Amino acid sequence: MASSTTASLAASPAFTFSASTFQKLHPTEYFRKFVSQGVRPDGRLLNSFRPTTVHQGVITTANGSAMVRIGGTTVVCGVKAEVAEPKLDAPDQGYLVPNVDLSPICSSAFRPGPPSEQAQVVSDQINRVLKESNVLDLKDLCIEEGKAVWSLWVDVVCVSYDGNIYDASLTAVMAALANVRIRKPTYEEGVVKVSGVDNTDEDDNSSFKLKLARTPLSASFVLFDTSLTLLADPNFAEEAISEGQISITIDEQGKLCAVSKVGAATTSLTSMRQCVDRARERSQELRAIMNQHQ
């Protein structure tokens, strides 16, 4: 009965509307029509990622930097090294402080003011991956034990937000850390001296690179609809209607660094396995893209 009414309404010219209006009114139904055919509204297959580019060294004033684009999402990461005093309980360890900024510039979904919950959560996720997977030995950042260490401020600014901020930010952070050059300091009687002028000459002996033990990269998925179809690399619209998100972070040896699943839907272990497999392929692709630009 209801369906016949809809049909007759749709038939009358007053009740036909454009695809974009339909998307606004019934976003889930709109997506369902595409997904049932195995494609997504932006033309991607269900398990394909958006075109990704990585550029390193985009900020000349920073010690290391990178810009990452995944489809419509653009993030810039800058690493700044500062001399700081170490903590009393860890006198030989430096600091590595990632921070993700989601300002109103990247999307109207964010308000000015203190960092949003999402920004804090992404910062925390990246921080935990860097720490728990021992990406960088903080002892490498020591200048003089108990006196001076390097503090690396890893700031990620999102320029344009179209979903999947975690993948984009982590890629940018890893690319920027790989790009870092810090000039060798000298420590004399309580004064840290950093000689010479900043230059980024490859063969320059006066600067050092960071020894990264591994490069974790991630792949994110959302679960769509009651069928819990997996959609890789969700954009903003897809995130908004998702039933749950899964992120898998993998290093170059195929070891998992982080797995997270949040949201409404219960995920079977089978679909978790699918995600891990797909993430493995994706991280290889992403690594290839990163190395190509280096």
Partner 1 sequence: MSRLDRTRTSPHQLRPFFSSQNLLNRADGSAQFDFGGSSVICSVVGPAEVKIRDEKLDRATIEIVARPLVGLPGVKDKTLERNIRETLEPLILSGLHPRTGIQIVVQTMKEDGCILSTAFNAAILALLDAGIPLKSILASVTCIIDSRTNQILLDPTIEETTHAKSTHVFVFDNKVSISSINPEDVAMDEDSKEPSHTGILFSDSTGLFTEDEFFECANACFKAAQAVHGFIRTAVSKKLEKEYQQTRA
CA distance 199 to 183: 9
Site for partner 1 contains 273 (CB under 8 A): yes
Q: Which is nearer to partner 1, 23 or 120 (CB)?
A: 120
Q: How many CB atoms sit inside 10 A of residue 278's CB?
A: 18
Q: Count of residues binding partner 1 (CB under 8 A)? A: 38
Nearer residue to partner 1 within complex by CB, 195 or 270 = 270
Residue from the set 6, 8, 21, 134 that interacts with partner 1 by CB under 8 A: 134
Is residue 88 a contact point for partner 1 (CB under 8 A)?
Answer: no
Q: Is 258 in the site for partner 1 (CB under 8 A)?
A: yes
- Select the span of 67-75, 138-146, 190-198, 270-278 touching partner 1 (CB under 8 A): 270-278
Residue 172 has φ and ψ, to the nearest 5°, of -65, -40
Site residues (CB under 8 A) for partner 1, limited to 15-74: none
**Minimum distance from residue 158 beta carbon to partner 1 (Å):** 17
Q: Please tell me whether residue 139 adopts helix, strand or coil conformation.
A: helix
**223 touches 272 (CB < 8 A):** no
Listed in sequence order, the residues at least 6 apart from 66 whose beta carbon sits closer than 8 Å to its beta carbon are: 54, 55, 56, 57, 58, 76, 77, 171, 172, 173, 175, 176, 179
What is the footprint of partner 1 within residues 102-131 (CB under 8 A)?
117-118, 120-121, 123-125, 127-129
> Do the Cβ atoms of 236 and 163 come closer than 8 Å?
yes
133 binds partner 1 (CB under 8 A): yes
Could you give the CA distance from residue 185 to residue 119 in angstroms, rounded to a whole number?
Answer: 33
Give the residue with the Cβ less far from partner 1, 196 or 263. 263
- Interacting residues of 143 by C-beta distance below 8 A, sequence separation 6+: 83, 149, 150, 185, 187, 192
Among the listed residues 22, 256, 284, 289, the single contact to partner 1 using CB under 8 A: 256
| Closer CB to partner 1, 63 or 123, in the complex | 123
Q: Which token pair is 34? A: 């595409």
Report d(CA 200, CA 194) in Å as an integer.
15
- Site pattern 215..234 for partner 1 (x: CB under 8 A): -----------xxx------
291 touches partner 1 (CB under 8 A): no
Q: Which is nearer to partner 1, 66 or 122 (CB)?
A: 122
Segments of 166-255 assigned E as strands: 181-183, 185-188, 191-194, 207-209, 217-224, 229-232, 244-250
- Out of 26, 33, 255, 293, the residue judged to bind partner 1 by CB under 8 A: 255
Three-class SS state of 255: coil
Which residues of this chain interact with partner 1, rule CB under 8 A? 117-118, 120-121, 123-125, 127-129, 132-134, 226-228, 251, 254-273, 276
